Structure 1
Amino acid sequence: MRLLNINTTKTRQVLSSSMMALVLSLTMTSGHTAADISQTYNDSCAACHDSGALNAIKKGDSAQWQRLIKQKGMPALINSVKGGMIQMPAGGLCNNCSDDDYQKLIEYMSK
């Protein structure tokens, strides 16, 4: 078995560039900032939660959101979003949201 020789300058440059690209991509996809959550809300949730369409709890209706969070718990709410409901498509129109993103979106709407 022959081992790879990584002592050449070219090989080190390629490995260094690859590692930097990996670090940057992980940094860019490691979660949304508050501004991103606002934009994600506008892109994915606002159509129903701004107006209350299809009986969606309106953004900013803290009393109803807090009641729902207390009643179901955050993990169950996240699972409801991920699985969808009769009136809401699976993922709530956010195809690339993580569980953490869904929690941040729920918290954002509840304020």
Structure 2
Amino acid sequence: MSEHHSPSAQPVPEAGLRVSHFADLVRVAQIVYDPSGGLSGRSLSVDWQSFGIPEAVAVDLKILGQRYQFASPHMPPDVIWEQLTPASRKWFIENRAQLAELEETFLARDED
């Protein structure tokens, strides 16, 4: 699959988004794709809405998480931004400060 960056793609807005927020988003997307953290024999079913993630956004994050399942979360922001739906972009801007907290919730489970 080749990455195509369209010149008509919307630029990342100046909405207080930092590179670290995008890394947090990629890590959360990886968790949404595989909440068990890749542990064999372990399967988790998660109600993402109970974590404040609407169903459509969870679907978008799952796709992103699958695409970058084994990648470093430190991706160029514009590469991540152009892959998000408008609903996911809005959710990301509104919830960027809570992403690390959500990530911590699942990291603790992996340490059991």
TM-score by length of 2: 0.27
- Greater RCO (CA < 8 Å, at least 6 residues apart): 2
TM-score by length of 1: 0.27
Structure with bigger helix share is: 1
Q: Find the structure with the greater CA-based Rg.
A: 1
